[in-house]
């Protein structure tokens, strides 16, 4: 009997603790939410400033790289300028020295004024200064130089650049460029030009500028100097720090140290002031410099501190408010709870009395001394005492029980409960003796009753009449004994199995079948000993029985014996359920049928062996029964008679071959009567008209009782052999005709090189009749020097067994002249695989060889002419490009002056000019701007022609997207639809293709400027099997009659007043496409748009 639960009374203290717990959890939740809000705001500020710092760092890096590229372009102009070199040489040679010196000074002044260089020095080959020009004319302080850099530039013939350094005399910081220059095609430099840059004019202001308002934002340029970090620019918070202030590299908490160690991206650390900062790090490509953009952490998080205080105050107020509300609520509930408690106790007391009187078990309650307080109706009937009589009496007087086996008084339950303070039950069957002497078999237990303070105030005794249950149990035990006897002594295996498959009980027969002891089997499940191939079927049948779909099942299955052997059994299973239908266990009957299955298997194996032998016999075999239905057939039979893939077993022979002649039907009947029939060659006409030739034998087969069971037909289709013999005769005739009519000479020689056969064409090629050649060694027909080479070739072919393929060799004509032959031959092998000769063909190629020699001579002469002409064109193009490049740069200085003076006139003297004068001035400014644009375009055209091509896989779609974004940014008021095919991948130079696509897309953007719904499309298509890329628009278009002018320099199809431009953009595009081995063309129609197509070499 289960133990009764203790009776415990609970007060209002539980509510108090629940309220306190709620308040505690609420306070923690409010604090956590406040802290999470604080962290999210902090993360947002960090992310915002991180993004800004990385953008500024990238911006500064790109600006420095562009500035360095401009300086590199300046040096390349000098490096490639033949005019400058010619002028300097004139000064060196003292030819018209004054005039040449003035001209050189004027040219060099352009670099000082236009490109912000501070000093220009020119050295001769001996390293002596031959010319100097210094801004401010501070010659003594500025004309220092590094002799090693001069020597390096002279020796290597390449441009040499110093790093940033501080002049020890003036204390100023400079960066020097040493540029060698050459005169015409001389191998060694004529001298070196030093261009000195003052970084304080452009580089330092560029670095120090900060694009957003900030009191601590700063950009720093550093480099690694030995084991220290050197600061290259002036610092915001430290004066005179450029190239003087250093930090040791081992202090890894400094952001400048992280930069020179190769870290990039966003970092947090301390700066040179030992102040915590947020920073972004970048490496300046092509230099030892590193960019650090930083901002103080205090400035970043300053807005967060004020919001944090507000959040703390708000959180504290909310917690205090909730605490006050909970205390008021608790006090109100406490008063209400006490009233309700009194009412509940009274109601529960009344319900308890009713429950005790109506319960099916006998119940007696006592006080702590064991005196009866309450006795219910069932207890009154069993004990013979009424409530009035029992009240106040000792419980032992009312409840008299004895041990059912010993007949001695039972245990004193109430004293035991008071001692253990727990539920106590009888340890042995008990008998209750009623007041009138009647005995009842009972089950009994007692439990303590506690007050609210867990003090025992009494005991409850619960008991029930189990007399009928004991009687049923005795009957069941007798039935079970009879079943156990039949179970144990059964001749077949019997077992009880749980619904889960566990063996619950097994008889000796099961143990004998499976080889396990009873103890071993009871520790296993039937799944453990069932063969894996039978387990799923067995489990499915079990599931059907458990689901109520069947009552019993039987099957043949395999068990695995303890020794590993397979045991076949016939299994019959039924399911036993309880009175409510719950499955209790399976009864399994197991009969060993292993011997029977082995006998069946041997018979089946014999049949399968016979079927296998017949099926894969190399002969065509068919076995029929008495009714001429197929029993077995071989694969060869199906193949020979063209019925592969058909299942003919069991079919009537004449249904498979309805065209079977009567003669064969008679043969079959004779064989069924015991005759044996055969034929070495027989013909059989099929229904399709074809003829089969067969060799066959037909004989009867006999059953065990000696009667004829059917016939066996052995056949061999010899149709192919018959046809092959006829084809061989025809082939020999065709070969003979082919050999005799061929223009080539066909031959056969033995292993020693003696001709055993030659075709008649030998007379046409060598002048010999066939009978004059047969029997002669081939070496008699070739020159002596050729005989040695051919003998080596035949020796190698004999050893390796290789064929002779298109061997060119010389033979001697009967008249003594040499004949060039092309020889091919294959070896002839004997049955042992040994080479016994060769068979081949010779073709006269004397005239072809003579023609090839003439063609080679002509090609060599033509290639030399093309090479000479190409060299001349290359030299002319180089001179033309150098001239264009130099002229374009020389034009910049006067244009800059024109623009400058015009701007001064416009700003300071505009009020002194009339309207016409101001109009003229505007036209001059516009013309100079147009001229500047022309110069820039000429420079780009020249650069495109000279730039080296670096091919790699690039995504043209991404480049088009970048250019489209730039165009939209330039004119944000325009609405243009871009249609860009994604992931157009090519192998090309990325920079050149970006220039080409920018020109094409800018053209489309410009010429759709007057279209309200402009559309520009980029993609790739296939034309005549070739991949073609295109840029299309729906703009102004053009007249196809003038399409050939599109790609010419300065060619325009629209007036400048209608669409601005210089007419060079498409020429640049064409040059880039041609340099990639492609071609470009255009299609268009006036006011209906234009399409530009181009290809690229693979």
Residue 613 token pair = 């032998």
In tens, the pLDDT along 206-218 reads: 888 887 788 888 9
CATH number of the domain bearing residue 923: 1.10.287
Decide which of 484 and 945 is more confident: 484
Full residue range of the structural domain in which residue 418 is found = 363-471
Q: Are strands 401-403 and 503-506 parallel, antiparallel or unpaired?
A: unpaired
Does some domain include residue 44? no
614, 710: one domain? yes
Taking 80 as the threshold, does the pLDDT of residue 54 lie above it? yes
The answer to whether 57 and 280 are in contact (CB under 8 A) is yes
pLDDT at 139: 47
Name the domain count of the chain: 6
The answer to whether 690 and 670 are in contact (CB under 8 A) is no
* CA angle in degrees (0–180, nearest 5) for 751-753-754: 105
pLDDT at 559: 93
Q: How far is CA 808 from the centre of its chain?
A: 55
- Please tell me the distance from the alpha carbon of residue 999 to that of residue 976, in angstroms, as a whole number: 17
391, 429: one domain? yes
Q: Which residues of 233-272 are buried (b: 16+ CB within 10 A; e: fewer)?
A: bbbbeeeebbbebbbebeeeebbbbbbbeebeebbebbbb
746, 826: one domain? yes
C-beta atoms surrounding 81 within 10 Å: 21
Does some domain include residue 14? no
800, 878: one domain? no
Task: From 220, 216, 215, select the one nearest 204 (Cα to Cα).
Answer: 220
pLDDT band at 741 (very low <50, low <70, confident <90, very high): low
Cross-strand pairs, 166: 173
DSSP designation for 780: G
The answer to whether 526 and 560 are in contact (CB under 8 A) is no
Domain end, chosen from 946, 961, 984, is at 946
pLDDT at 503: 92
977, 1068: one domain? yes
462, 497: one domain? no
Global pTM?
A: 0.34
709, 828: one domain? no
- Please tell me the distance from the alpha carbon of residue 626 to that of residue 701, in angstroms, as a whole number: 10
Does some domain include residue 1032? yes
Residue 796 token pair = 């190698």
pLDDT at 410: 78
Phi/psi zone of residue 426: left (φ > 0), alpha (ψ -120 to 50 degrees), beta? Answer: beta
The sheet with strand 745-750 has its strands ordered as: 755-758, 745-750, 835-844, 818-829, 804-812
Domain end, chosen from 946, 967, 995, is at 946
Decide which of 667 and 1059 is more confident: 667
pLDDT at 335: 66
The answer to whether 131 and 121 are in contact (CB under 8 A) is yes
Does some domain include residue 239? no
- Please tell me the distance from the alpha carbon of residue 116 to that of residue 112, in angstroms, as a whole number: 5
Does some domain include residue 864? yes
958, 1055: one domain? yes
Residue 410 token pair = 């039972």
Phi/psi zone of residue 681: left (φ > 0), alpha (ψ -120 to 50 degrees), beta? Answer: beta
Q: Write the CA distances from 239 to 217, 245, 365, integer angstroms.
A: 16, 10, 99
Task: From 387, 367, 262, 319, select the one nearest 23 (Cα to Cα).
Answer: 319
Residue 41 token pair = 């705001």
The answer to whether 1047 and 1067 are in contact (CB under 8 A) is yes
Residue 307 token pair = 């919001």
Task: From 256, 244, 150, select the one nearest 194 (Cα to Cα).
Answer: 150
The H or E element that residue 1069 is part of is helix 1065-1075
C-beta atoms surrounding 1007 within 10 Å: 25
- Please tell me the distance from the alpha carbon of residue 1077 to that of residue 332, in angstroms, as a whole number: 94
Task: From 29, 221, 223, 186, select the one nearest 92 (Cα to Cα).
Answer: 186
pLDDT at 930: 63
Task: From 1035, 1016, 1027, select the one nearest 1084 (Cα to Cα).
Answer: 1035
Taking 50 as the threshold, does the pLDDT of residue 1017 lie above it? yes
Residue holding tokens 């067994």?
A: 801
C-beta atoms surrounding 816 within 10 Å: 7
Does some domain include residue 114? no
- Please tell me the distance from the alpha carbon of residue 616 to that of residue 284, in angstroms, as a whole number: 80
**Three-state secondary structure along 645-668?**
CCCCCCCEHHHHCCCCCHHHHHHH
940, 955: one domain? no
Give residues with Cβ within 8 angstroms of 914, minimum separation 6: none
The H or E element that residue 26 is part of is helix 13-79
Task: From 757, 784, 788, 751, select the one nearest 773 (Cα to Cα).
Answer: 757
Taking 50 as the threshold, does the pLDDT of residue 10 lie above it? no
* CA angle in degrees (0–180, nearest 5) for 401-405-408: 45
The answer to whether 896 and 114 are in contact (CB under 8 A) is yes
Average pLDDT over residues 32-41: 75
pLDDT at 401: 83
Does some domain include residue 134? no
Average pLDDT over residues 991-1016: 86
User: Which residue pairs from 663-666 have beta carbons closer than 8 angstroms and sit at least 24 positions apart in sequence?
Assistant: none
Task: From 612, 608, 606, 660, select the one nearest 633 (Cα to Cα).
Answer: 612
Residue 161 token pair = 């650049």
Taking 50 as the threshold, does the pLDDT of residue 973 lie above it? yes
Decide which of 15 and 511 is more confident: 511
Residue holding tokens 């279209």?
A: 1011
- Please tell me the distance from the alpha carbon of residue 778 to that of residue 524, in angstroms, as a whole number: 90
The answer to whether 68 and 286 are in contact (CB under 8 A) is yes
932, 810: one domain? no
Cross-strand pairs, 1029: 1020, 1094
Helical segments of 359-391, H only: 377-383, 387-390
SS3 label, residue 995 = helix
pLDDT band at 267 (very low <50, low <70, confident <90, very high): very high
Residue holding tokens 């300086």?
A: 71
Give residues with Cβ within 8 angstroms of 629, minimum separation 6: 650, 651, 652, 653
618, 527: one domain? no
In tens, the pLDDT along 95-123 reads: 667 777 777 777 777 667 666 678 888 88
Task: From 312, 270, 295, select the one nearest 217 (Cα to Cα).
Answer: 295
Give residues with Cβ within 8 angstroms of 704, minimum separation 6: none
CATH number of the domain bearing residue 402: 3.30.450.20
Taking 70 as the threshold, does the pLDDT of residue 524 lie above it? yes
Q: Write the CA distances from 977 to 1012, 1014, 1033, integer angstroms.
A: 11, 6, 10
Residue 927 token pair = 């013309």
Measured between its terminal Cα atoms, the distance across the chain in Å is: 92
* CA angle in degrees (0–180, nearest 5) for 885-886-889: 90
In tens, the pLDDT along 460-516 reads: 888 888 877 777 776 666 666 676 776 777 778 889 999 999 999 999 988 988 999
pLDDT band at 287 (very low <50, low <70, confident <90, very high): very high
In tens, the pLDDT along 575-608 reads: 988 878 889 899 999 988 888 888 778 777 766 7
Pick the range with the lowest mean pLDDT from 628-632, 799-803, 889-893, 1037-1041. Answer: 889-893
870, 940: one domain? yes
Task: From 504, 579, 571, select the one nearest 542 (Cα to Cα).
Answer: 571
The answer to whether 731 and 749 are in contact (CB under 8 A) is no
Taking 50 as the threshold, does the pLDDT of residue 5 lie above it? no
Does some domain include residue 857? yes
Domain end, chosen from 799, 827, 843, is at 843
pLDDT band at 202 (very low <50, low <70, confident <90, very high): confident
Mean pLDDT over all residues of the chain?
81
Percentage, residues of the chain above pLDDT 90: 16
């Amino acid at each position: 009997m289960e133990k009764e639960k203790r009776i415990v009374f609970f007060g209002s203290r539980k509510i108090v603790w629940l309220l306190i717990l709620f308040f505690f959890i609420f306070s923690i939740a409010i604090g956590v939410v406040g802290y999470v809000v604080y962290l999210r705001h902090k993360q947002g500020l960090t992310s915002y400033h991180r993004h800004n710092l990385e953008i500024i760092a990238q911006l500064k890096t790109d600006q420095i790289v562009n500035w360095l590229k401009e300086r590199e372009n300046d040096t390349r102009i000098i490096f490639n300028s033949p005019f400058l070199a010619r002028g300097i040489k004139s000064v060196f040679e003292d030819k018209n020295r004054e005039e040449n010196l003035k001209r050189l000074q004027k040219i060099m002044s352009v670099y000082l004024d236009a490109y912000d260089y501070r000093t220009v020095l020119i050295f001769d080959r001996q390293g002596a200064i031959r010319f100097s020009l210094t801004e401010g004319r501070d010659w003594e302080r500025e004309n220092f130089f590094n002799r090693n850099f001069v020597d390096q530039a002279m020796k290597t013939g390449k441009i040499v650049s110093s790093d940033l350094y501080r002049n020890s005399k003036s204390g100023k910081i400079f960066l020097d460029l040493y540029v060698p220059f050459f005169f015409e095609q001389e191998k060694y430099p004529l001298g070196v030009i030093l261009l000195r840059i003052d970084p304080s004019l452009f580089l330092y202001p560029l670095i120090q500028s900060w694009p957003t308002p900030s009191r601590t934002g700063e950009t720093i340029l550093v480099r690694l100097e030995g084991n220290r970090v050197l600061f290259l620019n002036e610092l915001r918070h430290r004066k005179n720090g450029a190239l003087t202030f250093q930090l040791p590299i081992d202090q890894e908490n400094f952001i400048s140290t992280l930069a020179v160690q190769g870290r990039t991206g966003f970092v947090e650390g301390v700066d040179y002031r030992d102040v915590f900062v947020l920073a972004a790090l970048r490496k300046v490509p092509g230099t030892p410099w590193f960019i650090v953009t930083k901002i103080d952490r205090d400035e970043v998080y300053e807005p967060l501190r004020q919001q944090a205080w507000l959040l703390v105050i708000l959180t504290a107020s909310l917690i205090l408010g909730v605490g006050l509300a909970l205390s008021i609520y608790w006090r109100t509930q406490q008063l209400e709870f006490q009233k309700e408690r009194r009412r509940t106790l009274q109601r529960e007391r009344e319900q308890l009395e009713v429950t005790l009187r109506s319960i099916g078990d006998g119940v007696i309650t006592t006080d702590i001394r064991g005196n009866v307080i309450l006795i219910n109706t069932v207890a009154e009937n069993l004990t013979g005492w009424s409530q009035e009589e029992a009240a106040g009496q000792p419980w032992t007087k009312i409840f008299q029980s004895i041990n059912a086996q010993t007949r001695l008084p039972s245990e004193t339950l109430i004293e035991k409960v008071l001692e253990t303070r727990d539920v106590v039950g009888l340890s042995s069957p008990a008998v209750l003796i009623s007041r009138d002497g009647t005995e009842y078999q009972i089950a009994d237990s007692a439990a303590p009753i506690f007050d609210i303070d867990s003090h025992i105030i009494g005991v409850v005794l619960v008991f029930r009449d189990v007399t009928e249950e004991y009687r049923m149990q005795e009957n069941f035990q007798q039935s079970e004994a009879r079943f156990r006897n039949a179970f144990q002594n059964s001749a077949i295996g019997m077992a009880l199995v749980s619904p889960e498959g566990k063996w619950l009980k097994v008889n000796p027969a099961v143990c004998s079948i499976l080889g396990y002891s009873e103890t071993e089997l009871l520790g296993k499940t039937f799944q453990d000993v069932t063969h894996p191939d039978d387990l799923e079927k067995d489990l499915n049948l079990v599931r059907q029985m458990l689901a109520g779909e069947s009552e019993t099942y039987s099957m043949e299955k395999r068990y695995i014996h303890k020794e590993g052997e397979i045991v076949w059994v016939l299994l019959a299973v039924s399911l036993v359920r309880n009175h409510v239908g719950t499955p209790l266990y399976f009864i399994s009957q197991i009969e060993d049928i292993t011997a029977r299955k082995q006998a069946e298997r041997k018979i089946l194996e014999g049949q399968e062996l016979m079927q296998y032998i017949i099926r894969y016999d190399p002969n065509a075999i068919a076995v029929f029964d008495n009714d001429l239905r197929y029993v077995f057939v071989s694969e060869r039979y199906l193949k020979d008679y063209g019925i592969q893939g058909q299942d003919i077993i069991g079919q009537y022979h004449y249904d498979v071959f309805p065209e079977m002649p009567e003669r064969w039907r008679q043969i079959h009947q004779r064989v069924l009567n015991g005759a044996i029939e055969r034929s070495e060659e027989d013909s059989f006409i099929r229904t399709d008209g074809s003829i089969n030739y067969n060799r066959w034998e037909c004989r009867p087969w006999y059953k065990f009782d000696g009667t004829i069971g059917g016939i066996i037909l052995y056949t061999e289709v010899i149709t192919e052999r018959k046809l092959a013999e006829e084809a061989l005769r025809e082939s020999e005739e065709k070969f003979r005709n082919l050999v005799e009519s061929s223009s080539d000479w066909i031959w056969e020689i033995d292993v020693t090189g003696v001709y055993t056969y030659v075709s008649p064409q030998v007379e046409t090629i060598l002048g010999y009749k066939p009978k004059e050649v047969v029997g002669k060694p081939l070496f008699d027909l070739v020159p002596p020097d050729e005989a040695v080479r051919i003998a080596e070739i035949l020796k190698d072919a004999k050893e390796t067994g290789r064929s002779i393929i298109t061997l060119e060799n010389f033979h001697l004509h009967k008249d003594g002249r040499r004949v060039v032959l092309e020889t091919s031959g294959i070896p002839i092998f004997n049955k042992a695989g040994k080479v016994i000769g060769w068979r081949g063909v010779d073709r006269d190629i004397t005239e072809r060889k003579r023609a090839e020699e003439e063609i080679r001579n002509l090609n060599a002469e033509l290639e030399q002419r093309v090479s000479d002409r190409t060299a001349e064109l290359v030299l002319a193009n180089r001179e033309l490009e150098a001239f264009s490049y130099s002229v374009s740069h020389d034009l910049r200085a006067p244009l800059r002056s024109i623009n400058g003076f015009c701007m001064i006139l416009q700003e300071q003297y505009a009020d002194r000019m009339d309207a016409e004068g101001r109009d003229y001035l505007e036209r001059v400014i516009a013309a100079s701007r147009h001229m500047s644009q022309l110069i820039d375009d000429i420079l780009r055209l020249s650069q495109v022609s000279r730039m080296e091509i670096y091919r790699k896989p690039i995504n043209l779609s991404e480049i088009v997207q970048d250019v489209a974004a730039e165009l939209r940014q330039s004119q944000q008021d325009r609405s243009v639809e871009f249609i860009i095919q994604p992931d157009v991948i090519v192998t090309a130079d990325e920079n050149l293709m970006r220039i080409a696509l920018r020109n094409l897309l800018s053209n489309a953007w410009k010429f759709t400027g007057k279209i309200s719904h402009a559309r520009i499309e980029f993609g790739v298509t296939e034309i005549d099997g070739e991949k073609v890329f295109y840029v299309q628009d729906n703009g102004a278009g053009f007249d196809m009659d003038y399409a050939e002018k599109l790609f010419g320099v300065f060619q325009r199809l629209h007036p400048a007043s209608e669409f601005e431009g210089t007419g060079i953009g498409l020429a640049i595009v064409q040059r880039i496409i041609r340099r990639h081995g492609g071609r470009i063309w255009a299609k268009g129609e006036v006011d209906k748009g234009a399409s530009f197509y181009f290809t690229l070499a693979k």
